[in-house]
Amino acid sequence: MKNIFDFLDKWATRICFPLIIIIFLKTCSTNSKIDKTRTELSTVVTRIDSVVSISASKQDIEKIIKIEGLKSEKRMIQSTDRKILDVTRQSEIDKELEKLGSK
């Protein structure tokens, strides 16, 4: 045990100093990566907002989301093996899709 303490007393500062420098440099590069990602994300969000505001109103977006939800529900029903209750729900989904104007 004495040998370990002697080794640490003699070499601890020589080992810790390079490790502290490496950790410091690593954290500096991490912050710059975070800042770069944050700026890229903000540009993407502004592009999405501008596309959504130009191309469709809120009601149109809600309609599109409802149509896609109904289509995915129908695909899920068709992928399962249950038949009796699902046939009626599929026909209800078809009627709702026709009412929304999508097929």
pLDDT tens for residues 48-77? 776 666 656 777 778 888 888 888 888 887
Domain check: are 72 and 91 in the same one? yes
The pair of three-digit structure tokens given for residue 53, joined into one six-digit string: 């505001």
Q: Are residues 33 and 68 in the same domain?
A: no
Domain span at 73: 56-103
Q: Give the model's pLDDT for residue 21.
A: 86
Question: Are residues 63 and 23 part of one domain?
Answer: no
CA 96 to CA 103: how far, in whole Å?
10
Q: Is the pLDDT of residue 103 over 60?
A: no
Two tokens at 47?
């592009």
DSSP code of 101?
T
Distance CA 5, CA 18 (A): 20
Q: Do 63 and 103 reside in the same domain of the chain?
A: yes
| pTM for the structure as a whole | 0.42
Mean pLDDT (the chain, rounded):
78
Residue 38 sits in the same domain as residue 80 = no
> Tokens 């929304």 belong to which residue?
100
> 68 vs 25, which has greater pLDDT?
68
Q: Are 96 and 70 in contact (CB under 8 A)?
A: yes
- Whole-number pLDDT of residue 30: 66
